[in-house]
Amino acid sequence: MTATDEREVGAARRRKEDARLITGRTRWTDNLTVPGLLHMAILRSPFASARIVSVDTSAALSRPNVVAAFSGADVADVQGSLPCAWPVTEDIVHPDRPPLAVDVIRHHGEAVAVVVARDRASAMDALEAIEVDYEPLTPVLDLEEALAEGSTLVHPDKGTNLSYTWVFDSAAAGTGADVGAVDAEVVLERRYVQQRLIPAFMEPRSVIVDPGAGDYTIWSSTQIPHILRVFYALLTGTPEHKIRVIAPDVGGGFGGKLHVTPEELITFMAARRIGRPVKYTETRSETMLAGHHGRDMIQDVRLTARRDGTVTGISVKLIANMGAYLGLVGPGTPILGAFMYNGIYKFAAYRFECTGVFTNTTLTDPYRGAGRPEATYLIERVMDELAVELGLDPIEVRRRNWIKKEEFPFTTVAGLVYDSGDYDAATDKALALLGYDELRKEQELRRASGDPVQLGIGTSTYTEMCGLAPSRILGALRYAAGGWETASVRVLPTGKVEVVTGVSPHGQGHETAWSQIVADELGVAFDDVEVLHGDTRTSHKGLDTYGSRSLAVGGIALVEACRKVRDKARTVAAHMLECSPDDLEFTGGAFRVRGTPDAAKTVADAAFAVFAAHDLPDGIEPTLDADATFDPETFSFPHGTHLCAVEVDTQTGHVAIRKYVAVDDVGKVINPTIVEGQVHGGVAQGIAQALHEEAVYDESGTLVTGSFVEYTPPAAADLPDIVTDRTETPATTHPLGVKGVGEAGTIASTPAVVNAIVDALRPYGVRDVPMPCTPERVWRAIRAVGTETEGGRS
């Protein structure tokens, strides 16, 4: 029996998952097949808004290898409506969302009809034989026009394009003052636009539905197999226990696979109609067109402050684009940001208002950070504006407002209790790593000499709420589900350990991190732990992976399950050692009799004794396993300071990131390599929003960025190396001390980059560049200010 003595938690373990991923022995959904499998292809609308006059699938049916073809009209009475699990207000306007359009098209790419064939190519070929007669209508695309009186309506039967208005007011909530009643020696009003983004996970979505004999097995490239199973039951009338959902290897998600998709439902209907297993794998163009999008909101902010730099209040008004329908959690996504617009600061007053609006576009739903990047962007941009207004260093103006280490736990003006943090420590470390003072000097020199390449430094001192989420709070916010998480730990007779987790990883390395935790908790070897996930038959309960929740919630459940197992093993070990459980200490991977450390039994010894069951203490069942479910009482609040130095060529508008420093405090760290990787990837996606990406519709409502040719996630040459470091302020609200890291980089980095660009251009009078800050936009921003000055406007 080997019991490890080294602490696994905190070790830079290489990942277990890699073995299959680097050798191509991967179980992506599209790699899987089952006997009799058929293949489905989907015909999608070329229009953003149209009436469907008729759909004729008969010619497609006669194409070679075609087994079935049907349209929305053929399934209108059975297909139901896709769910929105987060109707944020009581009177929210919540239109039906049929998986296949029946009479009306409401966005480019909406599914119209399908072909099912013996092979993929035949199914795709036969799509062209489907005849659809559309009557094109004028789409509504602009957010403010959609809200205007007399606007064309996306859902005429609803009489409005306004879905909901959700308000938080610190005066009404009793968490702060009235924004109108605080000192306002300085007032700043700004508008920022969060452009529409596409999650662009690398594995296109794929689903297989095997109808069995009424007992369905479904493989899907999803982040949420458990939630999906519940909705399959609710939407199809299939008893829940007759549905097994499996998320096999899943190639990225970033919120983009946090959905119950039309395609999942359509594939189900096809398999049920035909009585054979059906697979659907989307093309990349379909992902771009019909997988949900993220961000897309207009943000108006009014910030009040005293001349000494103390911010007194902040008012935020959002207009959030829902797209044509409400997504699974689309209305709630901006609301996740509602508690974060005050950032790490001590403001006296806060008001937030979000209006959700329908347009003839693909719907929006979570994308990495989901509401919190938007909030962080706004507050960190406007703090820089305040610094300029007051002639203060941007770090200094932040320092004057942020919560001090000794002030935790701190109840914010948004009503959240931040348990811990050390903003000074993270910031000081970041400043030193960047070489802030030297860069400021260089900036002075370049400004003085009129260097065409200007230097800018951007700051982002962020926090975020992770660990979604306390079920009671979710209930109060009208979210349909809870936020708990679960784990089962079972020790096999030979001392190997199987762990079942309710979270559903898709690149995060949970198999590795979970093994590290179990190894320490039970004194077993890292390699002796197997982590099972993503199959509702082995893992029948769980709430899956999103919102940086897996470790911060699921990890706690895991620790608690391990401790239950260890307690039972202690009882058995004491019996074997003929002592009282109280005489044992668990050290070096074994229970040892205090004072006689050679008298020892491991968890594995106990497991075999339990298996044999020849001589167990009275009342002990012959198993060594335990379940635990953890429902957090509060969120966790990682924080950090990201600094970005850019060089902006004022003649071409080209932006080059010269140095990027990320100092993050994610609490206690289980695996620093994985944490660093999450920061790298997160920062890359945030930089991508700042500099590269935007989903664009033309005036007809056609998505013109419908492939990787036009929508270009950054390649290796487009991104810098980033310098990472950490401070470690453990969470105080649970036994693991972790805070979550999945979204931090994305949340922090976008404002750091844009602040740097604007900082570089301050001498030119520029105070904003709309994202993405492409060379053309930077160049135009410089030129626009120049023109205004020439024209005598201020």
Partner 1 sequence: MSSTAKITVTVDGDQYIDTVEARTLLVHYLRETIGKVGTVIGCDTSNCGSCTVLMSTADEPARSVKSCSVLAVQADGATVTTVEGLAAPDGSLHPVQRAFHEMHGLQCGYCTPGMIMSAIDLLRENPDPTDEEIRDGLSGNLCRCTGYQNIVRAVRAAAGEEVAP
- Binding at 30: pick from ligand FES, partner 1, none (beta carbon under 5-8 Å per type): partner 1
- In this structure, what token pair is assigned to residue 762? 């301050």
- Does position 721 interact with partner 1 (CB under 8 A)? The reply is yes
- In this structure, what token pair is assigned to residue 211? 């109808």
Strand ranges across the sheet with 243-246:
66-71, 111-117, 38-44, 278-281, 206-210, 216-220, 243-246
Burial of 770 (0-12, 13-18, 19+ CB in 10 A): middle
Among 173, 181, 202, 696, binds ligand FES (CB under 6 A): 202
Among 285, 471, 702, 774, binds partner 1 (CB under 8 A): 285
DSSP string over 623-641? --EEEEEE--SS-B--EEE
Contact 59/69 with Cβ under 8 angstroms? Answer: no
What minimum distance in Å lies between the beta carbon of 650 and partner 1? 24
Q: Which is nearer to ligand FES, 509 or 640 (CB)?
A: 509
3-state secondary structure of 56: strand
- Does position 31 interact with partner 1 (CB under 8 A)? The reply is yes
Among 80, 99, 109, 204, binds partner 1 (CB under 8 A): 204
Tokens 């410089």, residue located:
782
- Does position 719 interact with partner 1 (CB under 8 A)? The reply is yes
The set of long-range contacts for 715-722, using a CB threshold of 8 Å and a minimum separation of 24, is 718/691, 718/692, 719/657, 719/684, 719/687, 720/657, 720/658, 720/659, 720/660, 721/660, 722/660, 722/661, 722/662, 722/679, 722/680, 722/683
Residues 340-379 that bind partner 1 (CB under 8 A): none
DSSP string over 246-295? E--B----TTTT-S--HHHHHHHHHHHHHTS-EEEE--HHHHHHHS-BEE
- Binding at 385: pick from ligand FES, partner 1, none (beta carbon under 5-8 Å per type): none
- Does position 35 interact with partner 1 (CB under 8 A)? The reply is no
- In this structure, what token pair is assigned to residue 557? 């459940």
- Does position 22 interact with ligand FES (CB under 6 A)? The reply is no
Contact 260/82 with Cβ under 8 angstroms? Answer: yes
What minimum distance in Å lies between the beta carbon of 119 and ligand FES? 19
What minimum distance in Å lies between the beta carbon of 677 and partner 1? 5
- In this structure, what token pair is assigned to residue 684? 């890359």
In degrees, to the nearest 5, what angle opens at C-alpha 375 toward C-alphas 371 and 379?
175
- Binding at 673: pick from partner 1, ligand FES, none (beta carbon under 5-8 Å per type): partner 1
Q: Which is nearer to partner 1, 331 or 640 (CB)?
A: 640
What minimum distance in Å lies between the beta carbon of 391 and ligand FES? 45
- In this structure, what token pair is assigned to residue 187? 């007032």
Burial of 480 (0-12, 13-18, 19+ CB in 10 A): middle
In the chain, the amino acid numbered 132 is V
Please tell me the distance from the alpha carbon of residue 522 to that of residue 738, in angstroms, as a whole number: 19
What minimum distance in Å lies between the beta carbon of 669 and partner 1? 14
Q: Going by DSSP bridges, is the β-strand pair 38-44/66-71 parallel, antiparallel, or unpaired?
A: unpaired
State the binding string over 462-481 for ligand FES (x if CB under 6 A, else -): --------------------
Indicate the DSSP class of residue 172: H
Stretch that binds partner 1, among 10-18, 494-502, 579-587, 750-758 (CB under 8 A): 10-18
Among 709, 790, 793, 794, binds partner 1 (CB under 8 A): 709
What minimum distance in Å lies between the beta carbon of 708 and ligand FES? 7
State the binding string over 243-272 for ligand FES (x if CB under 6 A, else -): ---------x--------------------
- Does position 547 interact with ligand FES (CB under 6 A)? The reply is no
Please tell me the distance from the alpha carbon of residue 589 to that of residue 302, in angstroms, as a whole number: 57
Contact 126/41 with Cβ under 8 angstroms? Answer: yes
Among 683, 744, 773, 782, binds partner 1 (CB under 8 A): 683
Please tell me the distance from the alpha carbon of residue 267 to that of residue 207, in angstroms, as a whole number: 7
State the binding string over 493-512 for ligand FES (x if CB under 6 A, else -): --------------x-----
- Binding at 527: pick from ligand FES, partner 1, none (beta carbon under 5-8 Å per type): none
State the binding string over 421-450 for ligand FES (x if CB under 6 A, else -): ------------------------------
Alpha helices in 97-256 (DSSP H): 120-127, 143-147, 170-173, 225-236
What minimum distance in Å lies between the beta carbon of 254 and ligand FES? 10
- Does position 693 interact with partner 1 (CB under 8 A)? The reply is no
Stretch that binds partner 1, among 106-114, 232-240, 475-483, 706-714 (CB under 8 A): 706-714
Contact 114/124 with Cβ under 8 angstroms? Answer: no
Stretch that binds partner 1, among 109-117, 410-418, 420-428, 716-724 (CB under 8 A): 716-724
Size of site (CB under 8 A) for partner 1: 58
Among 42, 200, 469, 577, binds partner 1 (CB under 8 A): 200
Applying CB under 8 A, the residues found at the interface with partner 1 are 14-15, 17-26, 28, 30-31, 64, 119-121, 200-204, 249-252, 254, 283-285, 506-509, 673-674, 676-678, 680-685, 707-709, 712-713, 715-717, 719, 721-722
Applying CB under 6 A, the residues found at the interface with ligand FES are 202, 252, 507
